[in-house]
Amino acid sequence: MRSWPFAKGHGTHNDFVLVVDRHGLLDPTDDDVRWLCDRRAGVGGDGLLRAIKAEHIAGWDGDPSLWFMDYRNADGSVAEMCGNGVRVFARMLLEDGLADGPEVPVATRAGLRPVTLTNGGYRVAMGPVTVEPDAVEVTVGGEGSAHRWRAAAVDVGNPHAVVVLDDGPETPSLTSLDLRPAPRWEPAERFPDGVNVELVEVVDERHLRMRVHERGSGETMSCGTGTVAVAAAQAATLGATEGTWRVDVPGGTVTVELADGRAWLTGPAEIVARGEVLLPG
C-alpha cells in the first residue's frame, strides 16, 4: 500500500486528481493513473495532474525552477496539454503556497503556459494555434447510428478534429449524438497518436456550443484545449484573425480570445477535496 496526499478539482466539470511530487519520486505507472482516475475503485477523474519541478523533466530546456504539469489521461496515456487542468493546477499551487500570484508560469509538454488569476476567473495564455480546414473525415456514433462529417484539424499543442454541424434539416442535434463509441477518422495517418474530437453547434458567430470525445478519457463535460480549437476553427471559417468567443460545454462556459495566431482561455478552477489516497501495491 502507498499513501499519497492528493487533491481533487475541476474546471467546468472536467475533473482531475492532483498530486504534488516536487522531486519526481512518485513516478505513477499507467496502472496507478487508471486506478486513481477510476470512478468506482479509485478517486475518479478525467485525468491526473502531477506537479513536479521542471528540473526533473528530460527535454525541458526552459527555467528548471518552474512547476511542470505532467498530464495523464484517465487511461494512463500522456498528453501535451490540458486547458482546464492547467487552471486547476495553478489554483492548487496558489492555495498550497507553492507559487505566487497573480501570474503562475506553468511548464507543460506543449511549452510554457502562464496562468493569471483575474476577476473573471483563471486566464491562460494558450500559445500558438493552427487550423487546417477540411483535413479529415470523422465518423461519430456506433453501427446503425453513425454520421460522417468533414472536420478541421486544429493544433493547440495537442491534436483536435473539429466538426461544425450545419443547421440543415437532416443534421442531428448536438445533444442527440452518441459519443460513447470513440469517433473514427480518415486518413488514419493524420493523427497517428489519436485525437480529441469536438462537435460544435453555432449559436451565433461568436457563441458556440460543443461536446467532446477526448483521446484517452472518452466523453468529458469540457475540454479547454477543445474550446480553443472550436473557436479557432470558427474564426477560420469567418476569415477572422482576432476576436472573443463564448463557448458553452456541458459543464459550463469559458471564454476564448484569439489574436495573431495565439489564444487565451478564461474559465473557472475549483478544488473540491483534499486527502490521502491509499494506492494498491
Binding site for ligand LBFN2T5F (CB under 6 A): 14, 47, 73, 79, 82-85, 158, 196, 214-217, 223-225
216 belongs to an annotated ligand binding site:
no
The CA angle 67-72-77, to the nearest 5 degrees, is 140
Closest distance of CB 215 from ligand LBFN2T5F, Å: 4
Closest CA to 228 of 250, 243, 238: 243
Distances 238 to 36, 138, 204, 233 between C-alpha atoms, Å: 42, 22, 12, 9
Nearer to ligand LBFN2T5F, 55 or 125 (CB): 125
> What does the alpha-carbon distance between residue 199 and residue 97 come to, in Å, rounded to a whole number?
38
Nearer to ligand LBFN2T5F, 55 or 132 (CB): 132
| Catalytically annotated residue among 49, 223, 230, 258 | 223
Closest distance of CB 276 from ligand LBFN2T5F, Å: 26
| Catalytically annotated residue among 81, 82, 126, 163 | 82
* 3-state SS assignment for residue 172: coil
119 belongs to an annotated ligand binding site:
no
For residue 273, the one-letter residue type is: A
Contact between 141 and 178 (Cβ < 8 Å): yes
224 belongs to an annotated ligand binding site:
yes
Length of the chain: 281
Has 223 been annotated as catalytic? yes
Q: CB atoms < 10 A from the CB of 274, how many?
A: 14
101 belongs to an annotated ligand binding site:
no
Closest distance of CB 2 from ligand LBFN2T5F, Å: 25
Nearer to ligand LBFN2T5F, 42 or 216 (CB): 216
Residue in the structure block whose three cell numbers are 482516475? 37
Nearer to ligand LBFN2T5F, 15 or 32 (CB): 15
Contact between 85 and 69 (Cβ < 8 Å): yes
Has 37 been annotated as catalytic? no
By annotation, the residues acting in catalysis are 82, 223
- Binding site residues, as ranges? 14, 73, 83-84, 158, 196, 214-215, 224-225
- Binding site residues for substrate, as ranges? 14, 73, 83-84, 158, 196, 214-215, 224-225
